[in-house]
Amino acid sequence: MFSTIYTHEVKTWFKKPLFYIYAAVLFLLSLLISALAVGVFDSDNVTVTSAIKLNGAVGIYSLLGFFAILTYLLIPSIIGGTIQRDFKNNMHNVLYSYPLTKWNYLLAKFSAGMTMTLLIIVTSLIGITLGFYLPGANEELVGPFKIMNYLQPFLLYIIPNVFFYGAIVFAITAFLRNVNIGFMFVLVMIILQFAAGSSAPTMDDSYWVELLEPTGDSATYSQIKYWTPEEQSTQLIPITGTLLYNRLIWLGISLLVFIGVLFAFNFSQNPTSLSLAKTKAQRVTKKNFGTITKVIMPQATQDLSFLGQLKTAWIIAKSDIAFIVKGWPFIIIASVAFAFSLLTMLITGQQYGTDILPKTWVMLQFAGGIFSTFAYLLIYLYTGLIMDRAKAAHINQLVDATPTRNWTMLLSKFIAMVVMIATILLIVILSGIIIQAYNGFFEFELPLYLFDLYVINIWDFIPWIMMSLLIHTLIKNKWVGLIVLLVLAIGIPPLLGAIGVEQGQFIFNQGAGSPSPSDMNGYGSGLGKYFTYRVYWMLLGIALFALAVLFYRRGMGTSMKERIAIAKARLSKSIIAIMAVSLLGFFAIGGYMWKVNNIDNEQISGKEQEELQVNYEKELSKYAKIPQPRLVAVNTFMDIYPDTRDFKAGATYTLVNQTDVAIDTLHVNYPDRPTEITLDLENNIVKDFEDYNYRMYQFKKALQPGDTLIMKFTTENKPNTFFDNNSPVVDNGTFINNSIFPSIGYSDQFEIRNTQVRKKYDLEPKDRLPAPDAPGARDNNYIGGNSDWIDFEATVSTSSDQIAIAPGYLIKEWEEDGRKYYNYKMDSKILNFYAFLSGRYDVKRDEHDGVKLEIYYHPDHDYNVDRMMSGLKEGLDYYNDNYTPYQHRQARIIEFPRTGGGFAQAFPNTIPFSEAIGFIADVDDEDNDAVDYPFSITAHELAHQWWAHQVIGANAKGATLLSESLSEYSSLKVLEKANGKEQMRKFLKEAMDGYLLGRTVEQIKENPLMYNENQQYIHYQKGSLVLYAMSDYLGDEKFNAVIKRFAQQHQFKGAPYPVATEFVNDIKAVTPDSLQYLVTDMFETITLYNNKVKEATYQELPDGKYLVTLDAQVIKYRSNEKGKSVYKNIAGDSLTFTPEGKTKALQSLPLADYIEVGVFGEVNDDNGLEKVLYLEKLKVSEISNTFDIIVDEKPIEAGIDPYNKLIDRNSDDNRSKLSEKKSSTTAKE
């Protein structure tokens, strides 16, 4: 009987168009996405590059996982539909009368559904595979074909996950006979999956999330999160640890669910009810058969006027709204979304384990992203459900026979969907207010919530509601309609991108994204453009709505021919007028946007930008070595007009020929805005490469060695409109740097660096930065371009209610014509690196050791001003004591809006600081796991006054070791001085994680620290970790003495600029022979450890002391530029060790390393810090090691490298709780 039912079900599915539609859609989407991933469409689009082989196990897992989510959404209609078909067609009464065993019946039904679902995913897998080998695919992105790379993700994830989702959906449908509830379950589980995926990486201990997340994604992330490109390309995903347990747990749960269905199911007439209230049956009594009562029926009235139809639409809409919001599926989804939003808001914005204050704009960030994705999914689904309500209740013909207009029926559905979205957005408000109140933050800003969600964001959803109404009108099957909508939303944008369509006005409902609010600057200038796009798409939506009215399903006609005929008959003057007006407006606004984007402003596609960079190098790089005069002085002005968002600026450049040859041509890079340039030498423009904004002025009389050239220029923004913003000026908090000014000589910053792209265009391979010993590498610093140290003066003007700031000291301040003017002048030379700021600020002032300290902040952002001021003071103390004297008489922090970026940046004695990264931090001084990052970032940026603004590295590999790494190290030492060494573990752990995660997405090659090519994960995270470790090994005094001598030797020096190799050589010179390996490991190579505590015990000794026995494993290895691990040194030597009971030997580089071993006691109740009972660096020369340590107090925990000073991909196993050992042991001190 099993085979008979199973075969019948499979054959039935093969006869249904729905199966082929599902399979075709998944196949084509898979083919398209994989083809895009390997560059098949590169001829029409920007070149696709990847450091990993996309057909490795990790690549297939990622691609297949995306399409699996789409398939999970189909499970209710396939697996649930397989058993629901009997109920839907009222065949269950007949079938249940046959001599069937429910086991055979259910097993056959479920197996058939599983088979068809897996076949659909197989078509996706085939599409992915074929996409890799289409003509035009980049062979460098595809590795050798290995069947296990495909089988492992399919067997390990797809089959168990389909079984899990299928078993529960099958159970829901079998008992409730409602596929829609099954779909809601899938949607809820996907929400939970995303919640787990977003929370697990931010958790200190994600063990339980990894076990309990049903799809295994969190556990997989834990296994491979630090994998390098080489490992991602070549290795299978290891089925160990939490991933193995996760798969077994959820396979077991799925089996239990299905077995439960087998036992609990019965061949009953009626479905199980979810209602909590039991309806009492009325007893049959004589009263039931009383006399006939006359009933007066109400007089029915019909109002077919326009106003009457609107009232009817609202009445119908109320019924649909109740169906949605009172239904258990929506209640469950809303509850899960509510819990998810609470969780996400709770962890949003953490840095170094420290919260940020739950400002309303922080809470509103959750309205986008994943939350919006689920809102769209609900639109696609519920539109189909409410369109299908009458038919599902078998009253569609009655409804169709009413005199209610088609547009009235559709308008009611539209209203219901808008109310549903408004209800979902209400979750964001409630969640935000709850989180704010939970954190004791009562600045709720309810008007901002309402404006952002109900005036701005809700318009993002409305065009899709209209599109959904049309699709579900045209397509009878709601599941096919859902798939079509998903294809339109997910498949069409990348397809259009593949053929070079990038402008938002040609991609449905795209364009300007929803503007984000800032406390300082509100929504800025983005609202005009945003609402223009919203009106544009709304007009198209109205046309789609009118089209849906024409094709609205009513009556018995079902063929497309019949429906077209009916639509023609419905085409009235009013519909024609509505469509004509909406489309006319749509095309009129579209034409305007096209003009602004492509005529008023030249629109450059990604492909054109790439080709522009290629041609720039091919045509202009021949001028790279042409001698040019050096910039030695800048006298500039900047007029800022916040009310109109305009600026006008200019400067006088003083240029000197510092070469020993005459210069006959000046090469100028000028900004892409109205700019006028004049020179004080008679000249002609001999070439003007307008595509590259590169101009060549030939002097009639050459500029001789030592001669001076005066260059003057003015520049201003193109006119702003309500739609188009052409200026960096904002209403409050303008921040403009000198990158908007002309520069001298050819710059290689515009060149393409990716090796794969360079190869495609026949460009020679070129590193991102030249080697330190390359010819000419030390002629320029890495910031100032064709300049060294310059004299600087600036006059900045702004509106009367703002303060304008530039580097230097305020010489003069005056007011003229209702505007304020500020004249700043620097009393010493600075880099050619400066900025202009303007805003409405409160100012906190102080003085420390003769240095004036100022913090310019938004009046409502005084939360952490004292911490920042403390960071300035502590930093000045440490840097003055350990390095060289501070070169300025003042230091200033100036806040700028978060919409300008989430960073801080150090200019001479002036530090612009985003409102998002320190001003609203919620620092808990009693939380030892949190970092006071307003203090820390302040100390880092202040350190740049030494490391960049005193000592600046050459434009060569390793340059940022001398700026970013040293600044980050300096801030760590200030933080350590303020908070103690015990609190550094959290920061070092964060730094190590940042480095290890950064190297997993390296697109070109990883370099050793001393040769890094401005790679942030290396110079920030690894740099700080390495320098802190070196100071620990050598001692602060010795290490800081090296830094001080280096600063004294190179401060304010020009060419030849210092390089990182010199700094490393200085370190090497003071490093004892026993520690020379550290220099090699930390600076010259990419070296990692795998340190692990195998066992840790303690035993109380007769004298009251404690013997701690620590068994630890130490493995050291190197990595090449792609991340391949190497366990042998240059001579081919290595260590091996085979653990007891294992057959595979462990390998390590030869060891003679000094590694810290620590023993820790109870946490101190006074400061919440663990007590250090023992902490020493012990020499390690073997992989397997046993340490016997005697301590005076009862130990709790022990570890190897317990403070994470060595780079270890799994530092969580460096420590272990101690267990008591009862047996007698002889200890060695």
Position 1190 pLDDT exceeds 90:
yes
pTM given for the model? 0.90
β 1219-1220/1092-1100 pair status:
parallel
Looking at the chain, the whole-number percentage of residues with pLDDT higher than 90 is: 66
612, amino acid identity: L
For the range 111-114, what are the long-range contacts, defined as Cβ-Cβ under 8 Å and sequence gap of 24 or more?
Answer: 111/6, 112/5, 112/6, 112/9, 112/10, 112/13, 112/82, 113/9, 113/75, 113/78, 113/79, 113/80, 113/81, 113/82, 113/83, 113/166, 113/170, 114/79, 114/162, 114/163, 114/166
The arithmetic mean of pLDDT across residues 899-911, rounded, is: 93
pLDDT of residue 291: 59
pLDDT of residue 976: 92
Contacts of 1171 (CB under 8 A, 6+ apart): 1160, 1161, 1162, 1163, 1164, 1193
Range ranked top by mean pLDDT from 408-417, 561-570, 930-939: 408-417
Position 396 pLDDT exceeds 80:
no
Position 282 pLDDT exceeds 60:
no
The arithmetic mean of pLDDT across residues 331-349, rounded, is: 79
Please report which confidence band the pLDDT of residue 195 belongs to, taking 50, 70 and 90 as the band edges: confident
The arithmetic mean of pLDDT across residues 21-29, rounded, is: 92
pLDDT of residue 882: 97
Q: What is the pLDDT of residues 1108-1139, one digit of tens each?
A: 999 999 999 999 999 999 999 999 999 999 99
**CA dist list (Å): 30 to 43, 150, 194, 487, 971:** 20, 14, 21, 11, 48
Name the strands in the sheet holding 1116-1119, side by side, starting at the edge strand that comes first in the sequence: 1087-1089, 1116-1119, 1125-1126
The rounded distance, in Å, linking the Cα atoms of 1013 and 1028 is 21
Where do the domains of the chain lie, and which CATH numbers do they carry? 2-264 (no CATH), 306-600 (no CATH), 626-745+784-832 (2.60.40.1730), 1087-1229 (2.60.40)
SS3 category, 1108: strand
SS3 category, 888: coil
Q: From its phi and psi, is residue 957 left (phi > 0), alpha (psi between -120 and 50) or beta?
A: beta
Are the C-beta atoms of residues 745 and 786 closer than 8 Å to each other?
A: yes
Determine what percent of the chain falls in helix, strand and coil, rounding each to the nearest 5: 50, 20, 35
pLDDT of residue 138: 87
What are the structure tokens assigned to 750, written together? 């515009």
Residue with tokens 């590795």: 143
Q: What is the pLDDT of residues 240-269, one digit of tens each?
A: 999 999 999 999 999 999 999 888 887 765
Residue 1145's CB is within 10 A of a number of other CB atoms, namely 11
Are the C-beta atoms of residues 435 and 363 closer than 8 Å to each other?
A: yes
Q: What is the pLDDT of residues 438-488, one digit of tens each?
A: 888 999 999 999 999 999 999 999 999 999 999 999 998 888 898 899 889
For the range 992-996, what are the long-range contacts, defined as Cβ-Cβ under 8 Å and sequence gap of 24 or more?
Answer: 992/1021, 992/1025, 992/1204, 992/1207, 992/1208, 992/1211, 993/1021, 994/1020, 994/1021, 995/1021, 995/1022, 995/1025, 995/1207, 996/225, 996/226, 996/1207, 996/1209
pLDDT of residue 367: 64
Phi, psi (deg, nearest 5) at residue 961: -60, -35
What are the structure tokens assigned to 803, written together? 């303060």
Q: What is the secondary structure of 176-209 as a DSSP string? A: H--HHHHHHHHHHHHHHHHHHHHHGGG-S--HHH
Position 286 pLDDT exceeds 90:
no
Q: Which residue has the higher pLDDT, 992 or 604?
A: 992
Position 300 pLDDT exceeds 70:
no
SS in 3 state form for 1158-1226?
EEEEEECCCCCCEEEEEEEEEEECCCEEEEEEEECCCCCEEEECCCCCCCECCHHHHEEECEECCCCCC
The rounded distance, in Å, linking the Cα atoms of 416 and 318 is 7
pLDDT of residue 1226: 43
Please report which confidence band the pLDDT of residue 1229 belongs to, taking 50, 70 and 90 as the band edges: very low
Looking at the chain, the whole-number percentage of residues with pLDDT higher than 70 is: 94
- Pick from 470, 456, 366: nearest CA to 417: 470
Position 515 pLDDT exceeds 90:
no
What are the structure tokens assigned to 882, written together? 């350990």
SS3 category, 629: coil
Position 349 pLDDT exceeds 70:
no
CA-based angle 593:599:604, to the nearest 5?
Answer: 90
The arithmetic mean of pLDDT across residues 967-976, rounded, is: 95
- Pick from 1050, 991, 1059: nearest CA to 1019: 991
pLDDT of residue 152: 95
pLDDT of residue 271: 60
The arithmetic mean of pLDDT across residues 731-749, rounded, is: 95
Contacts of 442 (CB under 8 A, 6+ apart): 436
Q: What would you report as the CA-atom Rg of the chain, rounded to the nearest whole angstrom?
A: 35
Q: What is the pLDDT of residues 167-178, one digit of tens each?
A: 999 999 888 878
Please report which confidence band the pLDDT of residue 830 belongs to, taking 50, 70 and 90 as the band edges: very high
Position 212 pLDDT exceeds 50:
yes
**Considering only 323-327, 510-514, 624-628, 780-784, which range has the smallest mean pLDDT?**
510-514
Average pLDDT of the chain is 90
pLDDT of residue 275: 53
Position 290 pLDDT exceeds 70:
no
What are the structure tokens assigned to 931, written together? 């970092």
pLDDT of residue 1227: 42
SS3 category, 708: strand
Position 277 pLDDT exceeds 80:
no
| CA dihedral for 254, 258, 264, 268, sign (positive or negative) | positive
**Would you mind telling me the total number of residues written for the chain in this entry?**
1229
The arithmetic mean of pLDDT across residues 492-521, rounded, is: 86
Are the C-beta atoms of residues 1201 and 1185 closer than 8 Å to each other?
A: no
Please report which confidence band the pLDDT of residue 1167 belongs to, taking 50, 70 and 90 as the band edges: low
**Considering only 290-294, 356-360, 1031-1035, 1050-1054, which range has the smallest mean pLDDT?**
290-294
What are the structure tokens assigned to 1047, written together? 């600063």
- Pick from 102, 84, 110: nearest CA to 1: 102
The arithmetic mean of pLDDT across residues 945-974, rounded, is: 96
The rounded distance, in Å, linking the Cα atoms of 1077 and 1071 is 9
Beta bridge pairs of residue 650: 637, 714
Position 997 pLDDT exceeds 70:
yes
Q: Which residue has the higher pLDDT, 520 or 499?
A: 520
Name the strands in the sheet holding 1215-1217, side by side, starting at the edge strand that comes first in the sequence: 1170-1180, 1153-1163, 1197-1200, 1215-1217
The arithmetic mean of pLDDT across residues 763-770, rounded, is: 92
**Considering only 96-100, 343-347, 956-960, 1097-1101, which range has the smallest mean pLDDT?**
96-100
What are the structure tokens assigned to 1016, written together? 């942030």
Helix H or strand E segment including 1112 = strand 1106-1113
